[in-house]
Every structure is written in structure tokens, then in C-alpha cells.
Amino acid sequence: MRELYDITKKLTGNHRKPERPVKSKEGEIITNIEEQRNRWVERFKELLNRPAPLNPPNIEAAPTDLPI
């Protein structure tokens, strides 16, 4: 079984998806792993901690009995 795995690996090659660079707010590429993680934390805090909209949309409730 191991031989089959090794042959398959040789035939297919290494198809790892390349990592996308993480950029700072200024557009500079961050190479340090810890700085990349800190940038992701900062980005998601900005993205997820937004104030509520001033004029929320008026969305009507869907009917409870939906035909199947």
C-alpha cells in the first residue's frame, strides 16, 4: 500500500495551494507569521465590530407556512 501511495505522489507532484500574502493597511506585504496573525485579528475586529446602521432596512416577515 505504501508503494502505491509513493507512486501516486510522484506522478501527481506537489499541488499545494500557494499561500496568499497578507498586506498591511498601507499595502505592504507582511512576511512575519505573528504580524500576519495580528493583521488578521485587526481586520476582523474592523469587519465585525461595526456600529448598527442608522436606517435599517424594513424587511417583512416571511409567511410561516411555506409550500413544499
Average pLDDT, integer, range 42-66 = 87
Question: Bigger pLDDT: 27 or 11?
Answer: 27
| Residue 15 clears pLDDT 70, i.e. is over it | no
| 60 phi, psi to nearest 5 deg | -75, 150
Position 56 confidence tier, pLDDT thresholds 50, 70, 90: confident
**Pairing assessment for the beta strands 22-23 and 29-30 based on DSSP bridges:** antiparallel
Residue 57: other Cβ atoms inside 10 A? 5
Cα distances (Å, whole numbers) of residue 28 to 2, 21, 43, 46: 44, 10, 15, 19
Span 16-50, pLDDT tens digits: 666 788 999 999 999 999 999 999 999 999 999 98
